[in-house]
Amino acid sequence: MDLVQVAGAAALAPPRRRDVYDVVWDLLTSVRIAITLILLLTATAFVGSLLIQPVQTVDPRLITDPVQHAQFLEFAKQRYGFLAGALAPLWLRDATVYAMDAVNLFDVFNALWFRALLVVLACSVTMCTLNRLEPVWRTLRSPVVRRSDRYYETARLRRVLSAVPAERIRAVLARNRYRLYQQEDGAMYFLGDRNAWARAGTLASHTALLLLILGGAVGTLFGFKEDLAIPNGASLPVYPVGATNNITVRNESFVAQFRDDGSPADYYSDLVLVQNGVEVARQRVRVNEPLRYAGLAFHQSSFGPAADVEVRDAASGRVIFSQIVNFFDAVQGVPVDRETLPTNDDLFVMLPPRATPFLAAQIYKGDALQGVAAIEIGSSQQIGDYLVTFRGPTQYTVIRVARNAGESLLLVAAVLFIGGVLATFWFPRRRLWIRADERSTVVTGAGDRTFDLDGELDRLVTELA
């Protein structure tokens, strides 16, 4: 009587109130939420590949520099204003682009909300995986050899044979590479477990995702990247974060070869690395052959035209500027550059593409043009107060110095993911529960969703009979 009352009281007791932890737990362990998060990530990646992302494809300053960003938005209005609708008034088209910019659609992969999405997804995947770990572990550690009598009678997939000797059952299961467990209790009970190890596949592929996100974060936080534009024969120092000794890169010579149609056939830089006054490495660096030294990689990134220029004070003959000018910009295909002289006047130079190149030079005092000259190779011309010499054309090579942190994590993640997915899909776990006595043998089982257990039972029954 007492027992009944206690049981009744328990049944009637109000269920424990779900607190905020329960809600968070349910959300994080829900596969549906995980799917939704991956869908959001997919949609973001899709948008990011459709809309121009200046940081990745053009120039980060279009996002970071306020003036250039304003210019970029003007361009974006022309290009993406139509998203407001074909008939939308101008202000709505502009507002649409401003709204897109406000939610970082032109720099989605660096947006805070995108990173937050990755973190939430990482948590969700971790929780979903941990949530499934315990039951999987249990079936691996304590296999159930004998199931309830009712199971052998009612299992969805079952085959009933006449009595089969235990020896033959063991032989057939062994031949089919099942791990065998057995127990005697009136009848003989067998459990055949195949590919149990493959259960770790899901764990591996989901751990891979976490490592990917972690590797990406490590790369962002601890990586180092610097572009050095080095004219032929010149040297530039590298200052990797955390390096004890600075390294100097010398570009001994840069060579670019072109085919008849103007496409590049090959280009390379002969680089020399000097550390503490000692040469430590030397290599011909191509796009696909970077120079690696002390955890840094020196990549052939790009190249451009340069000019060897000297400027003297015309009155005194004193040299006030003598260096190789790199043409980073071009106006209508003509390389241009502006240098500020020590006198605060500006030297503006152009290198028109000609069979025999000449340097077009201008001198500005503030906005006022002082003079213009076309200077042949090896000659000088006076422009305003200056004597400008064009010693000759040359080239600069852009060497990207990079240290990629977290790359080993990415490699481990890739191996874990591919291995995990292959194990899950192509080594499906299947378990057979067999009860054998003098009268009959019942064969039942369970298998992963990708496995045709019905067919397997048919095959085994033929072998057993």
> What number of other Cβ atoms are within 10 A of residue 80's Cβ?
20
The residue type found at 414 is A
Q: Is 138 in the site for other proteins (CB under 8 A)?
A: no
d(CA 234, CA 255): 14
Q: Let me know: does 348 contact 361? Beta carbons within 8 Å.
A: yes
Stretch of 84-92, 219-227, 373-381, 435-443 lying at the interface with other proteins (CB under 8 A): 219-227
- Ordered strands of the 264-275 beta sheet: 235-238, 247-258, 264-275, 278-285
Identify which of 203, 194, 198, 32 has the alpha carbon closest to the alpha carbon of residue 132: 203
Residue 241 binds other proteins, judged by CB under 8 A:
no
Q: Is 35 in the site for other proteins (CB under 8 A)?
A: yes
429 binds other proteins (CB under 8 A): no
- Gap between the Cα atoms of 138 and 130, Å rounded: 13
Indicate which single residue of 5, 57, 245, 462 sits in contact with other proteins (rule: CB under 8 A). 57
Residue with tokens 């809600």: 23
User: Which CB sits closer to other proteins, 144 or 412?
Assistant: 412
What is the closest distance, in whole angstroms, from the C-beta atom of residue 167 to other proteins in the complex? 36
Binding of other proteins at residue 115 (CB under 8 A)? no
| Binding string, residues 261-280; x marks residues near other proteins by CB under 8 A | --xxxxx-------------
The CA-CA-CA angle for residues 222, 413, 177, to 5°, reads 160
Residue of the chain from 140, 421, 446, 461 that contacts other proteins (CB under 8 A): 421
Q: Does 219 bind other proteins (CB under 8 A)?
A: yes
* Residue 6 CA: distances (Å) to CA of 9, 11, 15, 16: 5, 9, 16, 17
With CB under 8 A as the contact rule, which of the stretches 59-67, 79-87, 287-295, 340-348 interacts with other proteins? Answer: 287-295
Residues 302-341 within binding reach of other proteins (CB under 8 A): none
Joined together, the tokens standing for residue 341 give: 């002289």
First to last CA, the chain: 54
Q: Given the rule CB under 8 A, which of 14-22, 42-50, 184-192, 362-370 is the region that contacts other proteins?
A: 42-50
24 in contact with other proteins (CB under 8 A): no
Selected from 85, 138, 425, 459, the binder of other proteins by CB under 8 A is 425
User: Which of 27, 38, 73, 123 touches other proteins (CB under 8 A)?
Assistant: 38
Report the residue from 154, 322, 340, 450 that binds other proteins according to the rule CB under 8 A.
Answer: 450
**Token pair for 47:** 């948008």
Closest CA relative to residue 268, chosen from 300, 238, 226: 300
Q: What is d(CA 66, CA 73) in angstroms, rounded to the nearest whole number?
A: 10
294 scored as a contact of other proteins (CB under 8 A) = no
Chain positions contacting other proteins, by CB under 8 A: 31-32, 34-35, 38-39, 41-42, 45-46, 48-50, 52-53, 56-57, 109, 216, 219, 223, 225, 259, 263-267, 286-288, 290, 297, 299, 301, 400, 402, 404, 407, 410-411, 414, 417-418, 421-422, 425-426, 449-450
